[in-house]
Structure 1
Amino acid sequence: MSVVDTSHPAVRSLFGLAVGDAFGAQILMPGDHPAVLERRLPPTPWNWTDDTEMACSVYSTLARYGHIEQDALATSFAAHLDPDRGYGSAAERMLLRYRKGESWREVAPAMFGGTGSWGNGAAMRVAPLGAWYGPDVDAVVTEAAKSAVVTHSHPEGVAGAVAVAVAAAIAATAPGIPPGEFLQAVASRVPESEVRRGIHAALDLLHTDDPRDAGQRLGTGHRTSAPDTVPLAMWLAARNLGSYEEALWTAARVASDLDTVCAITGGIIAAGPGSASVPPAWLQACERLPEWVAG
């Protein structure tokens, strides 16, 4: 499958992730700023961040091998590391060690005093994987976890990746699913964790129309952890599965790690068909994906 095959849910998801990431990275005044409240699009071009760069490695590994070949994924992450894309300092150091030949099997679990990372990095890049496997949810869970531990071996980091991948798979295969059923279906496949508890909290908050209330209860990504980021993205996606724009403008009012929340949310929603698609003007504004993603 080619990255130009925009009929495939995984490709739609990858573009939705990249545009969401780039959109979020350009919003300099998130919250109730007039530019956000009036929904004025940021100036172009919209450049994407490490979220998209790593998602391209996930997609290209799937396209090449048909599954997550972990050594190849780690090599791709390291080979395409561009420090100017906004990588966190710990992630940059990790990938530089991979580039020098150290094994992810030793480096990733040793991070943060031996706990492994529970950041949102595994979740931010994984939506296209969920869309790739679609109805095979067992494969979605297995391959999402395999993709996560290459850099994020803490159970919360893995749970965040599983949640996002399952959400994208559901968006791709069950258009029109009610928000509550969507969140229940995601939570049912996520291992016991703070991420899972956050998704259940998002389910309880589906009635609220105030994104600030949701952010206060679910987290905004301020701590860049999976438990502080994924539940809000789930709430945004569940309420806006048919409206990419609405989801991202709502995110701009509440999220702290805005590019990542928008990447996750956009990647999930764009996996769906029809009205979930990315607006053409937003696609035109976004920086093109790298040529290497097509293999």
Structure 2
Amino acid sequence: MIERESLMTLSDGIRSEVPMSFTLFPGTRRTLALESLAGLSVGDALGAQYFVPGIKPADLLDARVPEPPWEWTDDTEQACCLVATLAEGDFDRDAFAALLADRFEPYRGYGPGAVVMLREIREGLPWPIAAAAAFNGQGSCGNGAAMRAAPLGAWHADSLAHAATQGVRAAEVTHAHPEGIAGGVAVSVAAAYAAAARLNGHRPDPGRLLLAAAAHTAPSVVRDGLTTSVRGGVAEAAERLGNGGQATAQDTVPFALWVADRYLDDFPAAVAACVVAGGDVDTTAAIAGGVVAAYTGLDGIPGDWLAHREPLPAWLAAASGDQSAGG
């Protein structure tokens, strides 16, 4: 086992907040969430192309991308359900569970456990029971709650604490395991931190996004990964933190957020880092892409990449009240 060096010791009272000098209105919140969703979906759809034989990750480093269309996966489908559920007040877990169960398409890449759970919810089993029963009663520690979480964090850019609290609520619908919940919380807080930095016109110093996420994440392997020192580049980060190859929150979230922290103002570089690291590429790129887009906005995403991505589902535009959401 590789020995991990901590960037810092976290105490219960530590705070890594961005000073908030803005007020968010509902329309602004939704715009922030939709822009994060755009980054998430482009990262997901482009990352998924590298599971196709013959498409070489090294090409992306030379700005050569696969031919369109880029179809998105369950990462984006679940994130669309999350964005459609966002509203003032506490995150509506019942509505989110119902929408996930109604809209999920198994061919999008859902794991067998997720398919069973969502079918059970669709057939009337309450989501707390379905989530708690997963994996022989242990609950899921998979990366599913994390891969969809960035738009929720962007929505709560005015409060990292609220992003964390609502991140727990959104994760619990499908992930009863503490590590699965921790992954969703860490990504929610990271995206909130990134969006707040953008609104404040401030590019955080390297490492600050990771510390902010760790400060609001419960003690866990996920949090340990967020505070692990990586002195080298992408290859070392993937080796020390994992690249999502196990599809757990523990081996996905720390690396994806390390990428987002390092390339916070460079969306193409963030996605390329996830691609060349291998592993669960669509999910690491979705997480990093959603967080980075919360900082850069749509202007940070190459226009041709957005055009190559499969359009988002038409039902999202109707549910979100934004006609641009399905584009």
Contact 2:42 2:286 in 1 (8 A): yes
Q: CA offsets per residue over residues 19-50 of structure 1, 9 Å max, x none? A: 11000011236998542443310110011000
Q: CA offsets per residue over residues 227-272 of structure 1, 9 Å max, x none? A: 0100100110010000000010111110310000000000000011
Aligned to 1:197: 224
Aligned to 1:49: 73
Paired with 1:96 and 1:224, the residues of 2 have a C-alpha distance of 21
User: How does 1:267-286 map onto structure 2 within 5 Å?
Assistant: 267-273=290-296, 277-286=300-309
Aligned to 2:313: 290
Aligned to 2:143: 120
- The code of the aligned residue for 1:192 comes to P
- The code of the aligned residue for 1:254 comes to A
* Aligned with residue 141 of structure 1, among 139, 161, 164: 164
Contact 2:38 2:298 in 1 (8 A): no
Aligned to 2:108: 85
> Number of residues paired by the alignment?
289
Deviation at 1:157, TM superposition (A): 0.4
Paired with 2:284 and 2:299, the residues of 1 have a C-alpha distance of 17
Give SS of 1:172's match: helix
Using the TM superposition, name which of 21-30 and 132-141 deviates more.
21-30
**For residues 217 and 276 of structure 1, do their structure 2 counterparts lie closer, same or farther at Cα, with a shift above 3 Å needed?**
farther
Aligned to 1:73: 96
Q: Please list every run of 5 or more consecutive structure 2 residues that lacks an aligned counterpart in the other structure.
A: 1-23, 320-327
Matched, 1:179 2:203: no
Aligned to 1:159: 182
Deviation at 1:293, TM superposition (A): 1.4
- The code of the aligned residue for 1:143 comes to Q
Q: CA offsets per residue over residues 74-116 of structure 1, 9 Å max, x none? A: 0000000101111001001100001101111111111111110
Contact 2:78 2:100 in 1 (8 A): yes
Contact 1:32 1:253 in 2 (8 A): no
Give SS of 2:256's match: helix
Paired with 1:32 and 1:47, the residues of 2 have a C-alpha distance of 17
- The code of the aligned residue for 1:267 comes to G
- The code of the aligned residue for 1:55 comes to A
Paired with 2:57 and 2:169, the residues of 1 have a C-alpha distance of 40
Contact 1:220 1:232 in 2 (8 A): yes
**For residues 276 and 250 of structure 1, do their structure 2 counterparts lie closer, same or farther at Cα, with a shift above 3 Å needed?**
farther
What TM-score, normalized by structure 2, do the two folds share?
A: 0.84
**For residues 30 and 121 of structure 1, do their structure 2 counterparts lie closer, same or farther at Cα, with a shift above 3 Å needed?**
farther
Matched, 1:40 2:67: no
Paired with 1:262 and 1:29, the residues of 2 have a C-alpha distance of 19
Contact 2:98 2:121 in 1 (8 A): yes
What TM-score, normalized by structure 1, do the two folds share?
A: 0.92
Paired with 2:237 and 2:178, the residues of 1 have a C-alpha distance of 24
Give SS of 2:176's match: coil
Moved over 6 A (4+): 4-7, 29-32
Deviation at 1:8, TM superposition (A): 2.2
Deviation at 1:288, TM superposition (A): 0.9
Aligned to 2:281: 258
Paired with 1:85 and 1:274, the residues of 2 have a C-alpha distance of 26
Query: What CA RMSD, in Å, does the superposition of the two structures yield over aligned residues?
Result: 2.2
- The code of the aligned residue for 1:198 comes to G
Structure ranking higher in helix proportion: 1
- The code of the aligned residue for 2:225 comes to G
Q: Please list every run of 5 or more consecutive structure 1 residues that lacks an aligned counterpart in the other structure.
A: none
Contact 2:29 2:155 in 1 (8 A): no
Percent identity (aligned): 44
Paired with 2:54 and 2:120, the residues of 1 have a C-alpha distance of 35
